[in-house]
A and B are shown apart, each in its own frame.
Chain A
């Protein structure tokens, strides 16, 4: 079986880090490289955090390409209130800079031409890098097999304002540039579905019981997130947005979609909002918008992939319905 050739464009970030572990460990994914943008945390620390995640699963063979330092036009606002000052829950591991590579922009363009119609891009941060790819070479992304984006809010509330989700809000001009370029085969995984992906205290504690360096790392980086969610919105547990994209890539049926066209608000009170037109009255191509998710199937896949040594325990816990 040919593996899915994947580039992950990330801003790690706690949930990005979990998505990296997930993709790096999944047997049907060939992780070509990580590209980093400033988002949850600025790009240099993001690259270190990405390296940390890869090192936890012995995959430092995957190259890390740094990209955009700043949003296209707007002032940069990070999300360290959510992710901690170091971007991964203030665990302050010893910093290791990954090996210097070519820029994220060049890497994405080169990969698209090298493997036409084979590359999948999972965009889990602000779309600054992809917008810069479009600006540098408008044709390149049309060669991607699929671009799956975690971002936006279709029929639910935002997390940066009533209507705006962080990734699009952080760099709305990049998101607008992206959708304006009418790329094909785009799938959007918005807050409508990621809000349902709650890593509950029960699940976290099972992970802790595994008592391995990897499980300790996952437990530790999510502690800050748990506290944030409780203080901010009285959610018990943490919402882990980004790994859902990886789950979809290897198991399409986890998400259910409707088609809509997407436009991004770049000014005013609704800044960063993704306006989804399900009637598709504009000339923009349809985007698959995820609106429903099988969250139990997600967690089964996510946990058994990352903690494959504990598959039997995980399944037992599911059977005993102890993971709510």
Chain B
């Protein structure tokens, strides 16, 4: 039986590549895609999710979720939304032109859908969360007992020794720290795997990889390489990398095979709200403070395995073998 999964996302270029990979895997029964505001506003992210599913010629339903941060939505306030700017291009997909299939959009809200799935398939549903955790927090707010029956949460967000929005805070967790606190409050029961910046930054798709994608992976590879094109400049300017980091993809790969996480520490995670360290994760990697454990934090990746899994899943086994020949 295939694993039941919900993909919670704010596409975003790296979300799009993560979603393409998920949809190409035969491991999962994707129950639905829930969208959230983050990299872009909610209309953009919902449309972008649709574009990817439509491109893949699949019929997975899309449920629109939180228009803003968890506390803002909870109190029905107007959005005070700050999005990720133009890092992902003006439309959030690096300017790729894709079609929308209106039939995929569902009336039911992302939050209702999450709770309904949790109730319908207790201890069966996994969530891959690659945007701000607003939808998950709102679902917990609505029915915590139901959400405690989620089987596992894979979260791309946070960082232990590094940030991106500030020196110490990562975008997804910084965007909605109240949601992070809410979600990890059920981490005593629901395993939550955090794939943060410490892990994702180890897997740099360099120009060799991107050129290989463009030349050896067919039209889909060419499209993906095109999509991350704007990223290349950003990573050079900001991080001094020759290549890109595709954060959200790593969460999907970890969900496919947890063994890509070469260190996974069961520990306590807390989040800072307010002040200079706003949005920072506090993670006790050395278990010095003996606080209750609510997170599995990934600090190291098997980078080669990540890349090969990605190529094999998104494209073919032959493409992966070709990659091995070209880059032994």
Could you tell me which A residues sit within 8 Å of B by CB distance?
Answer: 155-157, 159, 161-163, 232-233, 263-270, 273, 275-279
Asked whether, in the complex, the Cβ of B277 is within 8 Å of the Cβ of A277, the reply is: no
**Contact flags B219-237 to A (C-beta < 8 A → 1, else 0):** 0000000000000000000
Q: Give complex CA distance A241, B225 in Å.
A: 48
Indicate if the CB atoms of B282 and A162 lie closer than 8 Å: yes
Kindly list chain B residues whose C-beta atoms are within 8 Å of the C-beta of A233: 286, 288
Point out the residue from B166, B238, B282 that lies within 8 Å of A163, measured CB to CB.
Answer: B282
Instruction: Establish whether residues A279 and B282, one from each chain, have CB atoms under 8 Å apart when the complex forms.
Output: no
**Interchain residue pairs with CB less than 8 A apart (9):** A159-B288, A161-B282, A163-B282, A233-B288, A269-B270, A270-B277, A273-B168, A273-B280, A277-B167
- Among A159, A162, A273, A278, residue most surrounded by chain B Cβ atoms (within 10 Å): A162
Whether B284 contacts A157 by the Cβ 8 Å rule is yes
Q: Mark B271-301, 1 if CB is under 8 A from A, else 0.
A: 0111111001011111011000000000000
Residues of B within 8 A of A (CB): 161, 166-168, 238, 270, 272-277, 280, 282-286, 288-289
Q: Which 8 A-B pairs rank lowest in CB-CB distance, beginning with the nearest?
A: A270-B277, A162-B282, A277-B167, A268-B275, A270-B272, A265-B277, A269-B272, A265-B276
Bound together, the chains give a CA A276 to CA B161 distance in angstroms of 11
| A276 & B167 in contact (Cβ 8 Å cutoff) | yes
Q: Are B288 and A267 in contact (CB under 8 A)?
A: no
Which listed residue (A155, A159, A270, A279) contacts B275, Cβ 8 A?
Answer: A270
Q: Is the CB of A275 within 8 A of B282?
A: no
List the B side residues contacting A270 at CB < 8 Å: 168, 272, 275-277, 280, 282
Chain B residues within 8 Å of A266, by CB: 275-276
- Assuming the A-B contacts A157-B284, A161-B289, are A273 and B277 also in contact, with contact meaning beta carbons closer than 8 angstroms in the complex? yes
- In whole angstroms, how far apart are the Cα atoms of A225 and B81 in the complex? 50
- Summarize B's interface: helix, strand, loop or mixed: loop
* Smallest CB gap from A276: residue in B: B167
- CB contacts (< 8 Å) of B274 on chain A: these are 267-268
Point out the residues of chain B lying under 8 angstroms from A163, CB to CB: 168, 277, 280, 282
**Extra A-B contacts (9), CB below 8 Å, given A268-B273, A270-B282:** A161-B289, A264-B276, A267-B274, A267-B275, A268-B272, A268-B275, A269-B273, A269-B277, A273-B168
Report the bound CA distance from A161 to B281 in whole Å: 12
Contact in complex: A275, B276 (CB < 8 Å): yes
A232 to B286, CA, bound (A): 11
Q: Which A residues are CB-close (under 8 A) to B270?
A: 162, 269
A199 CB to closest chain B CB (Å) equals 20
- Which residues from chain B contact A263 at a C-beta distance below 8 Å? 276
Most buried by A among B270, B272, B285: B272
Across-interface contacts of B276 in A (CB, < 8 A):
263-266, 270, 275
- Evaluate contact between A275 and B168: CB separation under 8 angstroms: yes
Q: A233–B277 Cα gap in the complex (Å)?
A: 26
Does B288 contact A232, Cβ atoms closer than 8 Å? yes
Partner of A265, one of B161, B275, B283, B288: B275
With contact pairs A161-B289, A269-B282 given, residues A279 and B167 touching in the complex (Cβ less than 8 Å): yes
Q: B289 and A275: CB pair below 8 A?
A: no
Residues of A within 8 Å of B275, CB to CB, are 265-268, 270
Contact B167 A162 (CB under 8 A): no
Tell which of B166, B270, B277, B289 has the most Cβ of chain A within 10 Å: B277
* Residue numbers in A under 8 Å from B161 (CB-CB): 155-156
Whether B277 contacts A157 by the Cβ 8 Å rule is: no
A residues in contact with B284, CB < 8 Å: 157, 162
Nearest B residue to A269 via CB reads B272
How many Å from the CB of B206 to the closest CB on chain A? Answer: 21
Neighbouring B residues of A278 by C-beta, 8 Å: 167
A163 to B288, CA, bound (A): 12
Q: Who on chain B is nearest to A233 by CB? A: B288
Measured CA separation A278–B273 after assembly (Å):
23
In the complex, which residue of chain A has the Cβ closest to the Cβ of B282?
Answer: A162
